[in-house]
Structure 1
Amino acid sequence: MTFVFSDMAISADGFASGLGQTAQKPFGDCLMDDLLRWRFEGAEENAAEIDDIVNAGAFVMGRNMFGPDRGEFDQDWTGWWGPNPPYHGPVFVLSHHTREPLEMEGGTTFTFVTDGIEAALEQAKAVAGTDGRVSIAGGATTVNQYLRAGLIDELRTHISPVIFGEGERLFLDVPAQPMSIVSARASRLVTHITYRIG
C-alpha cells in the first residue's frame, strides 16, 4: 500500500506561511528566514530530515505552492525553484485551470490536475507504486484538505521558534482525529515531531 506523508515547516503558533504572497515573497508577509533557518544555517544538524522531505516517488502540491498567480496560468512561470526544482520526480499540482505538463531539469515534471485532491493522489500513487511513497508537499491549505479527507498516513511538522500571528494555518478546519507521536527531536533551530494519523 502506498505510503502518504507530508512535511510542514510551521511557526510555533501553527502557521506555514504569512498573508500577501507575491512572486518576490513566496511565503507572504512573514519571517520566512526564521521559519526556514534550520534548513540553511542548521543544514548539517538537520540533514536527515531535510533529505527525507524530497524522498518520495511522487508529490502533490497546491497551486499556491507552485506559484503566486491566480486564474489562468502565466505560461512563463515555472515555479519558485528555478530550472532544477528539488523534487526530481513527478509533481501533481492541484488547480482549477488547465496547463500542459511542464518538464524541468533533474527529472521533475509538473502535471496540473483539475479534478480534485483524490484524482491527484491517485495519479501520484500510480506513479509511486504500491510499495512507494507519496508526499503531500503543501502548502497548508492543501495539507488541510488531505487531512480532512483522511488521506495522509504520517505528518511531519518542523516547528521553528517564531510567532507569525496570522497567515496560512496548519490544522485549520480539520476535524478531531487521533494521532500518535512516532518521533520527536529538538535541535538548535527547530523541533521535528512526526505523527501517525489515525
Structure 2
Amino acid sequence: MTVTADLAISLDGYIAGPDVTLDNPGGTGAEPLFEWIHNLASWRERQGMSGGEENRDSELMREWFDATGAVVMGRTMYDTGEEFWGDNPPFRTLVFVLTHRPRPTLVKEGGTTFTFVTDGIHHALDRARAAAGDRNVDIAGGASTVRQYLGAGLIDELQLHVVPALLGAGLRLFEGPGAVRRDVEPVRVEATALATHLKYRLSQ
C-alpha cells in the first residue's frame, strides 16, 4: 500500500487560483488546471457519463482511480467541492475529511462515503490505510493538507500533472509549512499535448 498525492499544477507552481470560495472552488483564472481532464473518458466514467477521449492522459487518470482504495482531504476541499460533486461524487470509495467541526458520516451515491475526522492527520491516515486494504491511499488536497503530509514524511509518491499555463497568483503547493527538503526519485515522465505527467518517489 502506497500513500500518494496526485495534483494538477500550473507551470509556475499553483494548484488553484486566488480567491477560492464555495462558489469558485478552483479560484480565479484556474480553469486551465482542470479543463484538460473534463473530456477524458476515464474522468467521464467517474462522473457517470459515457464517451470522452481515450488517450494516454485518460489511461493515467484511470490508473490512479483504479489504484486508490481510500482518500484523505481537508475540510476546505470538501466544503468547496461538495456542491460541485453533487449526489454522486467521483471518488467511489471511503473519503476521510480532516476537520475541527464534527459531522456525521455522509453516504453518497456511487460508493462514496465521507467520514469526518477530528483528531489529526495521523489518525485520518491510519483509518484510510485500514479502509484501503492493499490499494493506495490518496491525499487529495487542498494545498495545506498535502503540505502537512509532506512535512510529516507520510507521502510515498507524488504525481504532478503540469499544465502549460501560467496563473501568476493563487495557492502554491511548495511553500510555507511542509515545503521541506526531501530526497526525490523520478519514477516516470510523460508528456502529452495536454500536460506533462511527473511521478516521483519520496524518501521517508
TM-score w.r.t. length of structure 1? 0.89
Partner of 2:123: 119
Partner of 1:157: 160
Pairwise CA distance, 1:87: 0.8
- What is the percentage of aligned positions where both structures have the same residue? 45
User: Partners of 2:116 and 2:63 in 1: how far apart?
Assistant: 24
Alignment of 1:48-67 (within 5 A): 48-55=59-66, 56-67=68-79
Partner of 2:8: 9
Pairwise CA distance, 1:3: 1.0
Matched, 1:20 2:19: yes
Picking from 54, 65, 82, the partner of 1:44 is 54
Once the two structures are superposed, what CA deviation does each residue of 1:35-65 show, in whole Å capped at 9, x if it has no partner? 1232135653311122133331100011111
Please, what is the CA RMSD of the aligned residues? 1.6
Partner of 1:138: 141
User: Partners of 2:97 and 2:109 in 1: how far apart?
Assistant: 17
| 3-state secondary structure, aligned to 1:10 | strand
Partner of 1:84: 88
Greater share of helix residues, 1 or 2? 2
Pairwise CA distance, 1:165: 1.6
Matched, 1:171 2:183: no
| 3-state secondary structure, aligned to 1:156 | strand
User: Partners of 2:197 and 2:139 in 1: how far apart?
Assistant: 17
| 3-state secondary structure, aligned to 2:8 | strand
Of 166-175 and 7-16, the range deviating more from structure 2: 166-175
Matched, 1:110 2:135: no
Pairwise CA distance, 1:140: 1.5
User: Partners of 1:78 and 1:9 in 2: how far apart?
Assistant: 19
Pairwise CA distance, 1:194: 0.1
Matched, 1:189 2:194: yes
Amino acid at match of 2:34: L
Aligned length: 187
Partner of 1:147: 150
| 3-state secondary structure, aligned to 1:40 | coil
User: Partners of 1:79 and 1:116 in 2: how far apart?
Assistant: 25
Partner of 2:43: none
TM-score w.r.t. length of structure 2? 0.86
**8 A contact 1:6–1:136 mirrored in 2:** yes
Amino acid at match of 1:123: R
Pairwise CA distance, 1:83: 0.8
User: Partners of 2:146 and 2:29 in 1: how far apart?
Assistant: 19
Once the two structures are superposed, what CA deviation does each residue of 1:108-150 show, in whole Å capped at 9, x if it has no partner? 0000111111111000001112x22111111121111110000
Unaligned runs of at least 5 residues, structure 1: 69-76
Amino acid at match of 1:44: E
